[in-house]
Amino acid sequence: MSDKPEREHPGVTIGISGPRRKRMPHRLIALALRLAGAGTLYIRPGARVDVSLLDGLVLSGGTHVHPGRYGQEPEVSAGYDRRRDETDWSLLAQAERLDLPVLGICRGAQLLNVFRGGSLCQDVTPLRVHTRHHPLLLPLQTVRLVNNSLLGRIMPAPSIGANRIHSQAIKVLGRHLRVVAVDNDWFVQGIEHTEGHWVLGVQWHPEYLLYHPGHRHIFSSLVHAAKLRKLARLEGREALA
């Protein structure tokens, strides 16, 4: 047995960006992060947050990203929240400068893509061929994963069940991102960063599926990456995550 003491991970705080009113998904996200050993801070639209005091960030689901962010006019009737768009954009810009681990869920994954110059399909409903488009809170949607990927290492199998609440999807992929999951109609279900640090976007809502270990591990993987990054920063080294 080694005589060297084991390094202790410091406590971490993960920011959860969401709408003005906190709802069940945000409470479930906070629960998942706390179960994985992290503290949380809920961030409402318009809030001024020093992201350097956070160790990771979750961009949660919600209203559609306004199409003006990717150079289009609205093609569907939707309740946009431009203030939240602005807040999430600012949080993500700060997180990227600091190399913080970032998880984007549904809208959050779409915002990650748009932030990096990508675009969205504003309505996937008429484009589905192999699957019917209707909301699924249960994991009844088949999602296929890329094996050699962060998401592929987190999840227990190359094909998983996921839920589906979205009506928009990634169209043109943003810079320094790659597709790591698709559904049976080949709509993008997962993206991640190509340059090494922990940035992951999933189109489904894993917070509703915490009873499944694989979906729960998405949150614990984020917390682990945040702990490694904070430990590296406290020790004066470059981020490991």
Name the DSSP class of 187. -
* Catalytic annotation, pick one of 207, 215, 217, 224: 207
**Whether residue 86 lies in the annotated active site:** no
Lookup: tokens for 79: 């309740």
Name the DSSP class of 174. P
CA distance 178 to 25: 26
Q: Which amino acid is present at 201?
A: G
Name the DSSP class of 6. P
Burial of 59 (0-12, 13-18, 19+ CB in 10 A): buried
**Whether residue 106 lies in the annotated active site:** yes
The residue whose two tokens read 């569907």 is 76
Strand, helix or coil at 86? Answer: helix
* Catalytic annotation, pick one of 205, 215, 217, 224: 205
Name the DSSP class of 141. E
Lookup: tokens for 198: 């922990």
- For the annotated catalytic residues, the residue numbers are 106, 205, 207
